[in-house]
Amino acid sequence: MRSVRAVCVTLSIGLIVAAPALAQGRGGAMHAGDSFKNAKVQAWCGNAEVSGKIVDESGKGIPEAKVTFVLTALNSGMFVTTKKDGEFSAKDIKPGEWRVQVEAANFVTSRQTLTVADKKNPPLQVRLRRDSSPELLTNADALFKEGKNAEARAEYMKVLEVHPSLNGINRAIAFTYGREGNHAKALEFLDLALAGNPNDTMLLQLAASSAMQVNDFPRAVGYLSKIDEATLDDPAPLADAAVNLINKRHSAEAIAVLDRVITRFPAAADPYFYRGFAKLQAAKNDEGKADLEKYISLAPPDAPQVAKAKELLASVK
């Protein structure tokens, strides 16, 4: 297996150029046999060279590691691949500050900034750590199932340190805090998870619930407002959140949420019961009675809350 040498051209036709993981512009390593038709010199090309070796924790070379070079000033660059012994060579590059990223299967990705001098530079050696994330996740999930929240969280945090972009880990950590009743910390990690997946209905519902637990109702309503009811297949996500608001005696906010639910699911019985209850709670008796009567007309006669609805109707003057 030979190292791929960076060639300072890009092709306008006939070649799909591989973009480096950290680069925004065009760039890539060309293989032998690529056509040079309509080629042009890349802006990051020069007369400097960086060679080196990628090794594991024992010092053994890692083959097939991808070493990406991105010239900071241009945010563009190329990559090379290590040989069987882990060695690589990046030739014909411009002097300056480069971002170097090294990736290899089953290893933790390494990133560093490298100042490249004119012509030949001292050898670069990068030692990669084995990625134990799969084992850590298995252990963390087992601890979580056993109810060992702090221990599970410690394992999840180790994975997050290596893979900070994994939104599922932020959610898992939030769950451990939520189980412990630490909703302020749960919100921190739910917000991190939402940053990568802002339209996740479950995350928004969980965040709204935690916000209610810390009595931050404007924040809770903010999360709920981001749930697109048009994408829901059933009323439960919003209806359950409205029930939490009712239990906290925030009737107006609950009614606003239930208005959205009923508009989306006009034939669903339970939202009318909850909205009727919230309206009675808000002293809107006539509107509350109308919703409770609508609930009774839609719900099966043996539905659990039919008797409660009738009791409420009988108590309203």
Distance between CA atoms of 312 and 277, rounded to whole angstroms? Answer: 8
Q: Among 39-43, 142-146, 215-219, 293-297, where is mean pLDDT lowest? A: 39-43
Give the 3-state secondary structure of residue 88.
Answer: strand
pLDDT greater than 70 at residue 37: no
Give the pLDDT confidence score for residue 40 in this predicted structure.
52
* Residue 21 in this model has a pLDDT that exceeds 60: no
Tell me the CA distances in angstroms from 7 to 30, 83, 115, 196, one per residue in order. 6, 17, 20, 36
Query: What residues does each domain of the chain span?
Result: 9-127, 132-226, 228-317
Q: Tell me the mean pLDDT in the region 268-286.
A: 96
Q: What is the mean pLDDT of residues 120-147?
A: 92
Q: Is the pLDDT of residue 131 over 50?
A: yes
Residue owning tokens 């400097």: 48
The residues near 257 (Cβ < 8 Å, ≥ 6 apart) are 221, 224, 238, 239, 241, 242, 245
Nearest 10 degrees: CA dihedral of 167, 172, 174, 178?
160
Per-residue confidence band for 166, with pLDDT thresholds at 50, 70 and 90: confident
Task: Give the model's pLDDT for residue 8.
Answer: 61
Residue 87 has pLDDT above 90, yes or no: yes
Q: How confident is the model at residue 177 (pLDDT cuts 50, 70, 90)?
A: very high
3-class secondary structure, 42: coil
pLDDT digits (tens, 9 = 90+) for 49-74: 999 999 999 999 999 999 999 999 99
pLDDT of residue 26: 30
| Structure confidence at residue 214 (pLDDT) | 95
Q: What is the pLDDT of residue 12?
A: 28
228-317 has the same fold as 9-127:
no
CATH class of 132-226: mainly alpha
Mean pLDDT over 85-100 rounds to: 95
Q: What mean pLDDT is reported for the chain?
A: 86
The CATH fold assigned to 228-317 is 1.25.40
Is residue 189 within 8 Å of residue 177, measured between CB atoms? yes
Cα within 13 Å of Cα(1), Cβ side: 13
pLDDT for residue 282: 96
pLDDT of residue 34: 34
**How many beta carbons lie within 10 A of that of residue 271, not counting itself?**
27
> What percentage of the chain reaches a pLDDT higher than 70?
87
**For the residues 168-183, what does the mean pLDDT come to?**
95
pLDDT band at 27 (very low <50, low <70, confident <90, very high): very low
The string of pLDDT tens digits covering residues 178-230 is: 999 999 999 999 999 999 899 999 999 999 999 999 999 999 999 999 999 99
Alpha carbons 179 and 199: distance in angstroms, whole number: 23
Task: Average the pLDDT over 101-126 and give the result.
Answer: 92
Q: What's the average model confidence in pLDDT over 288-293?
A: 96
Encode burial over 167-187: b for 16+ CB neighbours within 10 A, e otherwise. Answer: bebbbbbbbbbbeeebbebbb
Cβ-contact 6, 93 below 8 angstroms? yes
Task: Give pLDDT tens digits for 2-11.
Answer: 344 444 643 3
- Map tokens 């903010």 to a residue: 222
Task: Answer positive or negative: Cα dihedral of 132, 138, 139, 144.
Answer: positive
pLDDT tier at 245, thresholds 50, 70, 90: very high
Q: What is the pLDDT of residue 15?
A: 24
CB atoms within 10 A of CB 156: 28
Could you tell me the maximum CA-CA distance found in the chain, to the nearest angstrom?
91
pLDDT of residue 196: 87
114: amino acid identity, one letter: L
Write down the CATH number for the domain with range 9-127.
Answer: 2.60.40.1120
Check: CB of residue 130 under 8 Å from CB of residue 57. yes
Share above pLDDT 90 across residues of the chain, in percent, rounded to a whole number: 76
